[in-house]
Structure 1
Amino acid sequence: MLRTAVIGCGIRGSGVYMPVLRKMNRHFRLAAVCDGVPERADAAASRFGAKSFHNVEEMLDKCRPDLAVVAVTPPPSHENAAVALQVLSAGIHLFAETPIAPSLEEADRIIALVESKGLKVEMGENYYRTPRERFNHALLESGVFGPVHVVYSDFVGHGYHGIALLRSYVGFNVAVERVIGLTNEFAVEMHLYRPGEPTRDKETWQFGVLEFHNGAKGVFSFSTLSYGSPLRWGREKCQLRFYAARGMGAGPDLAILEDARITRPIKVRIKSASVEGQSTIAAFLSDLPGSPGWENPLRRYPLVSGDQHSELTIGLQLLSIYNAITNGTEPEYGVLQARRDRQLDLAMSHSWSRNGEPVSGDFEA
């Protein structure tokens, strides 16, 4: 069992990571929480039975956790990268939010610390690691579809998230050769985007294209009104599509070629389990010969399943860093993958700023 500290007691820390860590009580023990706002840290500590700290350095020195989960302010401040450097400098394994850092230079400092101190780091890139995505990837890895030639991500994450999702289908081991980005702002009818936020009368669309070394293409589109606006479909209409040598997928619908002339839909059976009164996913099984699919390694925990922010999705990422620390395995999504996706993200921003001028570079896989 890993003694774990959570740094950041806001929505992500106390609302996402702490509840999951508490449920995964055969893997983790929440020993400490830390936040610069004392009231927030104290409230989280009381709720989850942990020790409260208001200073990161003091917490690392006095608590000495096996693992620190950094869930502090995301971009544009990138405070998470600065805290990550503190954790690693103290010689403590790390789970951190994405992106890895605001610049490649800072990402390289993180990587250098990881390598010099022999530490394990899992970056919380979650879009390609939902239970449903794990089922799709299990079929891809078993060869059901053959190589993926084209993958589209429509509203399913933008920028960094969109890039990681596209790469996961083509293969993280396949290098990207060129990046193209386009963006445009449009006027829209004035409306309330989300309760409590200012009204909006503008929308920015972002488009990205990744050209891979093997000829595959990845395309994503994203709107700043994607999540929450009554003027655009929400997450329930987000969809990823892929087209491969022997089959294809569009959202939950999967199919392969049969008898060289028939589109053969793949039927999916979801096995459920009840744990401590909570229904959770035990497995996704296909109706293909041998029933290839995905089995939930955390099916004995009462983790709620759902999208990229669900308890099960987060728990599976935490399981990866647990295995890396205790078994010496490599994290599923470590610092090198995180740096590559940040590099591609920055290249796409550069292309956006130059009206779609392609960016070629050293994007080795």
Structure 2
Amino acid sequence: MDQLKVAIMGAGKRAQEYMRVLKTMSDQFKLVAVCSDNLTLPDDLADFSGISTYSNGDALFENHEIDFGVVASDPMKVHDDAVKVLEHDVHLLADTPIGVDLHSIDRLGRLAQLHRVMVEVSEPYFRRPHERIKQKLVQSGLIGDVNFAYARFIGHGYHAVNVLRSYVGFDVPPVRVWGFQRDYGVEPHSLPSGAEIQSEQWQHGIIEFRGGTRAIYDFTSAAYQSPIRWRRAKANTEIYGKKGMCVGLDIAVGNGSGDTQEVSVKRRTIKVDEIDVVDAYVVDSTPEIVWENPYRSYPLTDGQISLAAALTSIQKAIQTGSAPEYGLFNARTDREVDIAMANSSDRQGDSIEIL
């Protein structure tokens, strides 16, 4: 398989994670150029050779033949940099957020059609290995059709929406949402970053899907760093189906005689270049439900696997002409629900229809 030539817009922490994955998967991808106003790389990326650097995106795309551009710049620049990539007839893998409003996202769709290029969005949450096995579990029918799903501290806004939609099904449209948001005072304290906080913002979102399934997420702005919250350590999801449930990775179903039958999930790992790499998740059911890591030959962390999945999604779309795994439509839907919940909160929790 020929290497695809890649350019990255941005050089911050997120862009550097893409660089690490591209470096690890150099048999499939070749990083050709980076565009950033401030290109300072850490030691583990200092040995990239033959990479051109630019502070002007137009010059980058005029001087190189690029198969696809990765936009991983500052969140407020993602949309403008994505437009730049598309206007040069280059396929796009864009980080989130892809737009501040639906109009800006729709502009990307129109540009992609006009320039006849593919667009994939690097939403990482549903691509994480432990989320993949939950999706396989639901698809297997072991716990039955989903009645209700819940996410706590997993992420806010479109990230939480993305995870919940991955359980219900990306093909099941959301039809109505409610949103609530309020600030609360907390005892003043320092975060690991050194910042001081005296308050936190809680968000609650409710999504109703066609067919009646509902999903809820809760999130606090203190969830990521504050020592007075559990942060990511105890972030959790719950999926309640017609025949059973999955709380975190704890699965339970009825055994037909009135008792609860617990079903275990095993995570298998292998060593690759001294890195513990997930090999598979296996649900101990009959038959077994298995998610195998398609990138297990590479020394990638779980977080990097989600980036690898986004990269190979746009790769496959370019090489075969098939639709990307997630794509602009799903990214737009997640953002539409997110924006609608914010509007609902502004209206004291009034329901907002998703058309």
Alignment TM-score, normalising by the size of structure 1: 0.92
Aligned equivalents of 1:41, 1:286: Cα separation in 2: 41
Structure 2 residue aligned with 1:269: 266
Deviations along 1:113-167, one digit per CA (max 9) or x if unpaired, are: 1123332211111112110100111121122222111111101111111111111
Aligned match of 1:5: 7
Where in structure 1 are there 5+ consecutive unaligned residues?
none
Asked if the contact 2:337/2:354 (under 8 Å) is kept, the reply is no
- Which amino acid letter does the alignment assign opposite residue 112 of structure 1? R
Aligned equivalent of 1:326: 319
- SS of the residue aligned with 1:47? coil
- Report deviation, 1:293: 1.2
Q: CA RMSD in A?
A: 1.7
CA contact (8 A) 1:35 1:41 kept: no
Q: Is the 8 A contact 1:33 1:44 kept in 2?
A: no
C-alpha distance in 1, partners of 2:211/2:61?
Answer: 45
CA deviation after TM superposition for structure 1 residue 238, in Å: 0.4
Q: Does the C-alpha gap of structure 1 residues 264 and 83 become closer, same or farther in structure 2, counting only changes over 3 Å?
A: same
Change (3 A) 1:260 1:243: farther
Give the 5 Å matches for 1:174-189: 174-189=172-187
Say which of 121, 124, 137 aligns to 1:123.
121
Residue 314 of structure 1 deviates from its aligned partner by 1.5
Moved over 6 A (4+): 41-45
Cα distance in 2 for residues equivalent to 1:228 and 1:98:
21
Structure 1 residues 9 and 44, CA, compared in 2 at 3 Å: closer, same or farther? farther
8 Å Cα contact 2:250/2:265 also seen in 1 = no
1:257-336 → structure 2 map (5 Å cutoff): 257-305=254-302, 310-336=303-329
Are the equivalent residues in 1 in contact too, given 2:134–2:167 (CA < 8 A)? no
Of 327, 331, 349, the residue aligned with 1:338 is 331
For 1:146 and 1:332, how far apart are their aligned partners in 2? 24
Identify which range, 212-221 or 265-274, moves more after superposition: 265-274
Other-structure match for 1:87: 85
Match of 2:230 in 1: 233
Instruction: Kindly provide the amino acid, as one letter, of the partner of residue 10 in structure 2.
Output: G
CA deviations on 1:182-207 (whole Å, 9 max, x unpaired) are 1111111111133322x111111110
Matching of residue 171 in structure 1 with residue 169 in structure 2? yes
1:298-340 per-position Cα deviation (integer Å, ceiling 9, x unaligned)? 11111122xxxx2122112222111111222221110011111
Match of 1:218 in 2: 215
1:68-217 aligned at under 5 Å gives the runs: 68-74=69-75, 77=76, 79-197=77-195, 199-217=196-214
Report the equivalent of 1:60.
61
Q: Relative to structure 1, is the Cα distance of residues 90 and 243 closer, same or farther in structure 2, using a 3 angstrom cutoff?
A: same
SS in 2 for 1:163: helix
Greater CA drift, 260-269 or 209-218? 260-269
- 2:354 corresponds in structure 1 to 361
> Equivalent residue for 2:48?
48
CA contact (8 A) 2:19 2:45 kept: no
Q: How far apart, in 2, do the equivalents of 1:109 and 1:166 lie?
A: 26
Give percent identity, aligned residues only: 35
C-alpha separation in 2, matches of 1:182 and 1:268:
34
Any idea what the Cα deviations from partners look like across 1:88-121, whole Å, max 9, x if unmatched? Answer: 1111111111122111111111001112333221
Which letter does structure 2 place at the counterpart of 1:23?
Answer: T
1:47 Cα shift? 3.5
SS in 2 for 1:128: helix
- After superposition, the Cα gap between the structure-2 partners of 1:30 and 1:44, relative to the gap in structure 1 and judged at 3 Å, is farther
* Paired AA for residue 144 in structure 2: G
Quick one: distance in 2 between partners of 1:40 and 1:254? Answer: 46
Work out whether residues 8 and 72 of structure 1, in 8 Å CA contact, stay in contact via their aligned partners in 2.
Answer: yes
Question: Does the CA contact (< 8 Å) of 2:112 and 2:118 recur in 1?
Answer: yes
Distance (whole Å) between structure 1 residues aligned to residue 45 and residue 133 of structure 2: 36
Q: Measure the CA separation in 1 of the matches of 2:266 and 2:153.
A: 26
Question: Normalised by the size of structure 2, how large is the TM-score?
Answer: 0.95
